[in-house]
Amino acid sequence: LRMMYLLRPWLWATLIVFAISGVSALNQNLSFSHFPLAIYNNQQEILKNSEAQEALKMNIEPSWVSIMKAAPKSLFAGLFQPVIGQGKWFLAIHWVENLLILIMVVFSLVRSQDIPKIHTPGTLMIFFILLMATTFPLASPNFGTLMRYKAIYLPCLFYLSALVPIRYWLHLKQSKT
């Protein structure tokens, strides 16, 4: 049993490698060697069809190095953009949504001692959110499209970012009674 516990990270890593290899074989655009070009082509096509104020500006080239350099900006965009004032006025509901998530994430980081131990499902959710929030803004920098894609991982993001504030609020409520 102890041996299985020690092998568990290696089993997950092996599973992830096989999953990436399997997905890579499904479509040419998902092929590891072709993926940066597919991201670049998709981004250029969307930028060409978007108004300037409705899209993120990330100057990438069709290479892994360029994508890795743009990844932090893309991750921030995938988690918290559009921010107040970005895009057109009809994105205002998304401005509020992203501001709320940003506040909860910052609160959780400040109160990091209250973060509960995260088990495998939570770890998988974090990996899923980071992967999607980094990839979608690179491939599809238009705010409207990004917000539609964000709906895929938003429930997980909201759940994880609300854990600490809710626990804190419950602790305050319990200490008052």
Q: What angle do CA 62, 63, 65 make, to 5 degrees?
A: 140
The percentage of the chain sitting over the pLDDT mark of 70, rounded to a whole number, equals: 90
Segment 36-50, tens digit of pLDDT = 898 999 899 988 888
Buried b (16+ CB within 10 A) or exposed e, 2-38: eeeeeeeeeeeeeeeeeeeeeebeeeeeeeeeebbeb
Segment 107-132, tens digit of pLDDT = 888 877 766 676 777 778 888 899 99
Query: Does residue 142 sit in helix, strand or coil?
Result: strand
**Distance in angstroms (rounded) separating the CA atoms of residues 88 and 147:** 13
Describe the crossing of helices 120-139 and 64-80 by its angle, rounded to 10 degrees: 110
**Which position has the token pair 């100057």?**
59
CB 88, CB 171: distance < 8 Å: no
Output the pLDDT for position 136: 92
Segment 67-109, tens digit of pLDDT = 999 999 999 999 998 878 777 777 788 888 889 989 988 888 8
The percentage of the chain sitting over the pLDDT mark of 90, rounded to a whole number, equals: 19
What's the pTM? 0.76
